[in-house]
Every structure is written in structure tokens, then in C-alpha cells.
Amino acid sequence: MRFENDTVFITGAGSGIGRATALKVAREGAFVVATDINEDGGRETVDAVEDAGGDAAFHELDVTDADEFKAVVETAADEYGLDAMINNAGVGHPPAYTEDVTETTFEYVLDVNLRGVWNGCQAALPHLKSQGEGAIVNVGSLASFLGLPKQAVYSLTKGAVLNLTRAIASEAGRDGVRANAVCPGFIETPLGDQFFQSKRDPEKAKAETEKQYPLGRLGEPEEVADAIAFLASDEASFVSGHGLVVDGGFSVS
């Protein structure tokens, strides 16, 4: 098992890609530290892991609070250890032209999508460096590479996540720490559904989006979880600073 005796810390573990990742790595032997600002969702993930025969613990966490993030990581590292940090928590925003985005929306998306990943990296790095090994996987997006129309703030944050990942890979590699990003296209998650629900005809919007993908469908959370697990595992021991696109061929079509 790829994660036997390892501890994997996951943000945004209460649903979607985070929950799928928790289940994936737990099945492969990891102890999962599942965190989320949504306590009910986080505890449901822990229950699902345990029902599947795995081990996990839940910690409520607001990723935008640097002090809280560091405290939760320190507690988890002291109690369980820390081998991989998965910075998955993220939010979207309703489609809007750049000039129409409110300051409130701008600050909120920047706080969760960028500050949250920054906080996770800052909190994890001292522990990973001190033991001379470990992995960070940040969840970016197709928007890490492409500027999506009416998604300027989201594109801004996800582009920054990829470059932050590269910077950390460059500076922390000599301490035995790898950093990579997974960059999904549209995935069947609550966040993806939120985007479609903002449209006048959600079902039509989803069907039109599916047609843009060479594989003819949206991705499943488990497919992104597979990519995250690979990058967090020793199978990717010589992979660092990489943005792995998981988009069903959208970006090359």
C-alpha cells in the first residue's frame, strides 16, 4: 500500500475532491487528517473512511486563518505525524465581467483560494523539512493555465497557486520536500454544480460544457483523487514543480 504508516492532511475534505482523496489514500493505508470549515461534511468524510475500514480524524479549520492553520497542523503532526499536505479547499464565484466583480467577492475568493493554500504550505513546510521528506499537493485548476472568461478572480488565484507550487518545489527540494499541483477541468462536485446553477438553464449549460470535452463528459472526483494520490506518493518521487492537468483533453482540443 502506497501510504502505509503515512499521515495525509487534507483541507476541504468535507465533500467533492477532498472527500474522494481522503477515501483514496485511506484505502491505501494512510491515516487521514480531514479538515473543513463545514463540520458536518468533515465528520461525514471521517465516517465514510472508517466505514471503509480506514482511519481518520476530523479537525474543523478555516484555511484563511494562518494562526489556526498552524495550530491544527502542529497538533496533528505531534499526534499522528505529517507526510503529505493536500491543499484542496477552494471556492468559486458567479460569472461576472472583471469590472463588475465586487470587492467582497474579490477578497473572499483570494482569501480561500490563495491565502488558504499559502497558509497550508507555510504550516506544513517546517514539519516536512525537519524530517527530510514529504509532499505538498496543491489543487489548482484548468484556470491555472487558461484565463477563463467571466472568471477573472478565480483564474487569478489558480494561476498564482501553480506558480507558488513551483516556487516551493524550487526552494524546498534540497530539504527532501516535493511540491506539485493538480489542475482539474470541470468535475462533478458541489463547486461545479454551483457554477451551473448560476446559469439561466443549468441543465443546458452543463450539456454544452460536456460537449467541449473530447471525452464527452465532466470528470469525477475520484479521477482527480487518483492524480493527487500519485503525486503525494513515492511513485512520484522524482516529480516536483509540476502542474498535472486532469481535464479530459479540454486544454488540447
Task: Output the nine-digit C-alpha cell for 150.
Answer: 467571466
Q: For position 66, what pLDDT does the model report?
A: 98
Question: Under CATH, what is the fold of the domain 7-239?
Answer: Rossmann fold (3.40.50)
3-class SS of residue 10: strand
List the 177-184 sheet strands across, edge first.
Answer: 55-60, 31-36, 7-10, 84-87, 134-139, 177-184, 243-246
Please name the amino acid found at residue 121: C
Integer Cα distance of 69 and 77 in angstroms: 12
In the chain, where the domains are located = 7-239
Integer Cα distance of 35 and 57 in angstroms: 8
**Active site members:** 154
Q: Which residues are bridge partners to 219 per DSSP? A: 187
3-class SS of residue 86: strand
Residues of the chain with pLDDT under 70: none
Integer Cα distance of 218 and 211 in angstroms: 9
Helix runs in the chain, H state only? 16-27, 39-51, 66-80, 103-110, 116-131, 152-172, 190-197, 202-211, 221-232
